[in-house]
Homo-oligomer: A and B are copies of this chain.
Amino acid sequence: MEARMKRRLLLIAFVCGATLLVPARNVWTATADSSPSNSLDPLVLVGVAVILIAAKLCGELFERIGQPAVLGELVAGILLGNLVLFGFTAAEPLKSDPVISALAQIGVIILLFEVGLESNLKEMLEVGWSSLLVAVSGVVVLFFLGWGVAAYFMPDSARLVHIFVGATLTATSVGITARVLKDLGRLQTREARIILGAAVIDDVLGLLLLSVVAGAIKAAGTGAPPAMIDIAIIAGKAVAFLLGALLVGHYVTPHIFRGAGRLKARGVLLALSISFCFLLAWVASKVGLAPVVGAFAAGLVLDELHFKSFAEKDESDLQRLIVPLSTIFVPIFFVMVGLRVDLRAFAQLKLLGFAAALTVATILGKQLCSLAVIERKVRRLVIGIGVIPRGEVSLILAGIGTTLFLPNAQGVSEPVVSVGTFGAIVITVIITTLVTPPALKWAMKSRAEG
């Protein structure tokens, strides 16, 4: 009976498969051309599915060997993007699909919103002067080191290109750093708090620096010389935007969310928070800043205290509600970053040298700035190693750089971050992140013994 049942099922499966293989006119894809605004390109469906599966598999692999999952997602993208080296071109359309690209950009906006939500303004102010000094000295040292390395390896490019590479090196990865410290069970130590505080301040300074440099590039691109007044205006706007967002967050947002808490509709908190995040990202882009700055500011000013009125509906925990969104969107961003790394560019030995020099500059520069710690009884080495990982913000900055154009020494317009430079920056992010967990483990241990 059991065997007959199985045979019958096999027969059904065979008939189903055979029927599906019968060729017939494809209704859904063919109509996509006639009205692009109303049907979804099937490529998006299969693309997102492949990206998510690859991201989770590689993420798992990297977690098993003691590395953060985000590295796995980058590597998944690099593998998918370079399948073409083996003659497999099916993944090529993903690189230029506008919808998947938009989903990736929404992913990074949600990521920065989430990081903002996790950072508490008050706690950030409490970690005190050590974090600020480590952050500021780190940004200054890495900015000039990156500038110098870029100038040495790309003597033909415009000076603003070198400056831009310096800016991309300045931001320390909050996500990667926090994850590594958490995995080591040292999140509550004094060193950890200084490291995390410095990483957050780094991100803000990096984004400010980016706004200034990009503004100068834009000004130079239009033919006008980069006027100091333009740079001053952009820097002023960035500071004004952050201060303005903080004021709005302190005086206006609580009233809005308290009012919204009285609404009965389902999912009001999440919808309103995402709207707030997108609106601030939009305002940031309108005043000349990167949208991610707005998303980070939105997360920073939204405080758990505002959500009390949602508590009775069991949907007061925004950080928990946002997790499914970031689970789906954020990996798309990292895989798309990896997709754009062209391994063929590394056939040039010079580029490998460039990546190596940027990595060494980061590691040594960070040891230098750890000397700025004013507190005693903390291991400067631990802090110096803890702030090594370059991360999401560096990748965001590099990505933005590929969309900015400047004339080079020959007067030809070229992207500020070329394919080669982009690859070098991604490799720097990967290597600095790879070395941190074992190095930190070693530094923490030698402290316990000493």
Contacts and interface: CB of A to CB of B under 8 A. Distances in A.
A93 to B, nearest CB: 11
Interface stretch (A162-170, A196-204, A272-280, A345-353): A272-280
Interface stretch (A17-25, A116-124, A152-160, A303-311): A17-25
A304 B289 CA distance: 45
A322 B270 CA distance: 13
A237 interface: yes
A435 to B, nearest CB: 22
A38 interface: yes
Chain A interface size band reads 35 or more
Contact of A40 (B20, B36, B106, B215): B106
A28 B290 contact: yes
A293 B403 CA distance: 39
Contacts of A267: 56, 323-324, 327-328
B247 A12 contact: yes
A27 B274 contact: no
Interface stretch (A41-49, A357-365, A373-381, A425-433): A41-49
Interface in A204-262: 211, 214-215, 217-219, 222, 230, 233-234, 236-237, 239-241, 243-244, 247, 251
A265 B27 CA distance: 38
A271 to B, nearest CB: 5
A405 interface: yes
Given A28-B285, A38-B399, A265-B63, A240 B19 contact: yes
Contact of A327 (B95, B222, B270): B270
Interface of A: 9, 12-13, 15-17, 19-20, 22, 24-32, 34-42, 44-46, 48-50, 52-53, 55-56, 59-60, 63-64, 69, 95-99, 101-102, 105-106, 109, 211, 214-215, 217-219, 222, 230, 233-234, 236-237, 239-241, 243-244, 247, 251, 263-268, 270-272, 274-276, 278-279, 281-282, 285-291, 321-325, 327-328, 331, 399-400, 402-405
